[in-house]
A and B are shown apart, each in its own frame.
Chain A
Amino acid sequence: MAGHSGLGYYLRRVLRVSLETGTMAHLLHRVTGLLIVVYLFLHIGAMSYTYFDAGSGFDDLMATFASTPFLIVDLVLFAGVMIHGLNGLRIMLFDMGYFSRRQKELFWVMMAIAATSVLIATWLVGAAHGWW
């Protein structure tokens, strides 16, 4: 008889209501990390455009990226990078032997910093593109 284990069991359990801070931080770290990897490949792909088209193709592409939907995607990416980076900092503090007993508080401190920076970035981008 299969045990209470395996990938299917993992997915069912890890996403349950008993999601506490440490697990949430871990899952956020994973999801944001994987999203950033996908973006990294898209980014390298977009930059490759400069090799294939020395004309105005690249400039047109960049102009498209400056439109509102893409700017929102940019801000989501920025949020992902801030969450991943600050939680990464949190993990490295544990690695150095600090805050192991304060991991939950540290998570919320990091997320507060991330939220603030995303708000500031949104305000800057919005102001530059006449959102308000």
Chain B
Amino acid sequence: MGGGELQQTVHIHASKRSFWLWFLQRVSSVGLIVVLLFHMIVLHYVDPSAEITLADTHVRLQSFLFIIVDSLLLGFGLFHGLNGVRNVAYDYFPKPGTRKAISSILLIVGVVVFVWGAFVLVNLVLAG
């Protein structure tokens, strides 16, 4: 950590991964703008006095549209959020070893939470 002084480095190798992560950060952000606006407006601001109940949520999730929107929200949100954390962490932790550890932890967290979230969502759709 720290050690931010400029060091002599010659970068000659392209890194496709850093390009794709940057690019997908943009793609997921566009997706999130659409999906998150839909989610927030429909659930909280069309009828702000409506109370959210398990039964209503179950009924709502019988609609294909809501299943798609909620799944995309989970996927885009996790990717965009955790890749964002990676971007922030990479700025402050320049050492390759630390970065690798951060990347691995974020990847594991992302996969585990996505699987768990999908599991909860399926459970909501089926059982309510």
Contacts and interface: CB of A to CB of B under 8 A. Distances in A.
Q: Count chain B CB atoms within 10 A of each CB in A2, A9, A40 and give the residue with the most.
A: A40
A6 B40 contact: no
A66 B43 CA distance: 12
Interface in B51-66: 51-54, 57
Interface in B80-128: 81-82, 84-85, 88, 92, 113, 116-117, 119-121, 123-124, 127-128
Contacts of B52: 62, 65-66
A34 B113 contact: no
B77 A2 contact: no
Nearest to B81: A37
B49 interface: yes
If over half of B's interface residues share one DSSP class (helix, strand or loop), that class is named, otherwise mixed; here it is: helix
A126 B32 CA distance: 26
A121 interface: yes
Report the interface size class on chain A: 35 or more
Interface string A30-51: 1001101100110010011011
A92 B123 contact: no
Given A10-B4, A33-B81, A92-B29, A48 B116 contact: yes
B14 interface: no
A27 B79 CA distance: 21
A28 interface: no
A128 B47 contact: yes
Contact of B127 (A30, A33, A54, A74): A54
B65 to A, nearest CB: 18
Contacts of A2: 5
A63 B51 contact: yes
- Which 6 A-B residue pairs are closest in the complex by CB-CB distance? A128-B48, A128-B49, A5-B4, A6-B2, A37-B81, A62-B52
